[in-house]
Copies of this chain bind each other. A is one copy, B any other.
């Protein structure tokens, strides 16, 4: 069973070994591959509005995490942005789906009306299918907007989902 709760400062030592290999690989996140741990911590734990962790309900082991933040200030601040990460040894068990669903409920509760992923790497087909299954549309395609360490310049997708119907005030 997966439980999702807000991240606490003391989760970081368990979170960083999950996040670090993903950032260092540079294949899915637009983050410097040599980012310092302190900056990664700021990015994941401090800058966002909220950070959550998925844990194994039986033993509390962290299985994954997501952050939720404003995608833009001012007239764009009703749209949020999230980033998700699943521990390498916890993949294929529905953790990403659970995080995605939780993030949408949380976003609605916080008053957001849409969710946007600004840069989904086109080679990350598993993620794209997953977000589509959760109601996200490919709103745009940016030719060569991501430098993949192996593939070179690959397209990036902008994915978007209205959480609240446009007509609903």
**A residues with CB within 8 A of B:** 26, 29-33, 35, 72-79, 113-114, 116, 118-119, 121, 139-149, 153, 156, 158, 160, 162, 166
Q: Do residues B160 and A143 form an inter-chain contact, with CB atoms below 8 A?
A: yes
A83 to chain B, nearest CB (A): 12
Q: Do residues B113 and A153 form an inter-chain contact, with CB atoms below 8 A?
A: yes
A160 to chain B, nearest CB (A): 5
Enumerate chain B residues within 8 angstroms of A146, measured Cβ to Cβ.
75-76
Interface of A is mostly: strand
Q: Do residues B30 and A73 form an inter-chain contact, with CB atoms below 8 A?
A: yes
Q: Do residues B114 and A144 form an inter-chain contact, with CB atoms below 8 A?
A: yes
Residue of B30, B142, B147, B148 near A158 (CB, 8 A) is B142
Q: Do residues A32 and B74 form an inter-chain contact, with CB atoms below 8 A?
A: yes
